[in-house]
Amino acid sequence: MDSSSADEQSRTWAELPADITSTILSKVGAIDVLTSAQRVCSSWLGICRDPAMWRNIDMHNLGDLWDMEHDLEKMCRHAVDRSEGHLLSINIEYFGTDELLEYIARRCFCRSSRLRNLRLVSCYSISDQGFGGAVANFPLLEELDLSYCSLSKEALEAVGKSCPLLKSLKLNSQGYRYPKIECDEEAIAIAENMHGLRHLQIFGNKLTNNGLQAILDGCPLLQSLDLRQCFNVSLGGNLEKICTQRIKDLRRPNDSTDDYEFDPEVQDVCWSSAEDDYPSGISDIELASDEDDYYEFSDNDYDFDYDYMFND
């Protein structure tokens, strides 16, 4: 393509109506917008600075942290700042920390938080205390994904107290059969604190029939329930009858995992224990080390300019 054709194509993109361009860019993840899309031309940069573009922040990264050229936490803070209090949903899977979650909560709270959807998949660096302090600032939260995190029942209790409008919860973990470990703590925390739940996915959970019964009793509005790879649950008799009669979308422990978004491989041995810092999670993911030297920008480098100034 010669230079004249390239210039013409660039002008064609730049001359698109702003609303159409905004719709196109809204389909692009926050990482690509900050590192690529806004660099196309000055008009795109202007659109990318509009707070409306940052109502939904998706930092989806597949856990490839070692392949990232930029510090995702700094980029996320920049994106949250751009939302100017209009943030409705945010996905910070794999790299979320107590500090980042606290920053999001503080920035949202000071402008009356509107956050409805929070996704924290595989955020092993978020603690019960950090999560509980942050979620207290999200009273309008309706959807929450805490899959493959190292949070305990205390975090679920905090959600119940702070987020009365919560309708959807995902609390997935790696399924395993042996050794057989039974634990209903999370199920009871859900049952006692989340009475308004409509949708619950607890793939690979250690709950038993008693925990399931508690959920059915405590969450009367439940419409969908995903129990796949919850091998301590044995549906049958009256429990089976209650589930089939009340739950419109029921996924049983041994149902197909073909549509499951993470690695559904069943583990023969559970390497997670009370002594571990991290629970069983998505396979083939190497946890980040404590060294921060990998990142292109250090913690003292927050002045990095993602706005990329252009001449007219």
Q: Where is average pLDDT lowest: 44-58, 74-88, 296-310?
A: 296-310
Specify the pLDDT at position 71: 87
* 253 confidence band (pLDDT: 50, 70, 90): very high
For 55-83, what is the mean pLDDT? 83
Number of Cβ atoms within 10 Å of the Cβ of 123: 24
Distances (CA, A) of 204 to 98, 201, 280: 25, 9, 10
Specify the higher pLDDT residue, 15 or 205.
Answer: 205
Specify the pLDDT at position 7: 52
Distances (CA, A) of 144 to 187, 220, 301: 16, 19, 31
Angle between helices 209-218 and 185-193 (to 10 degrees): 10
Please tell me the total number of residues recorded for the chain in this structure. Answer: 312
Whether the predicted pLDDT of 269 surpasses 70: no
For the stretch 190-220, pLDDT in tens is 999 999 999 999 999 999 999 999 999 999 9
Examine residue 164 and say whether the peptide bond preceding it is cis (omega within 30 degrees of 0).
no
Spatial neighbors of 126 by CB under 8 A, at least 6 apart, are 96, 97, 98, 101, 120, 149, 150, 151
Specify the higher pLDDT residue, 246 or 28.
Answer: 246
- pLDDT cut 90: percent of the chain above it: 59
Q: Confirm if 97 and 68 have CB atoms less than 8 A apart.
A: no
Whether the predicted pLDDT of 283 surpasses 50: no
Whether the predicted pLDDT of 39 surpasses 60: yes
Specify the pLDDT at position 134: 96
State the virtual CA torsion across 65, 98, 199, 207 in degrees, nearest 10: 90
For the stretch 137-171, pLDDT in tens is 999 999 999 999 999 999 999 999 999 999 999 99
Specify the higher pLDDT residue, 213 or 66.
Answer: 213
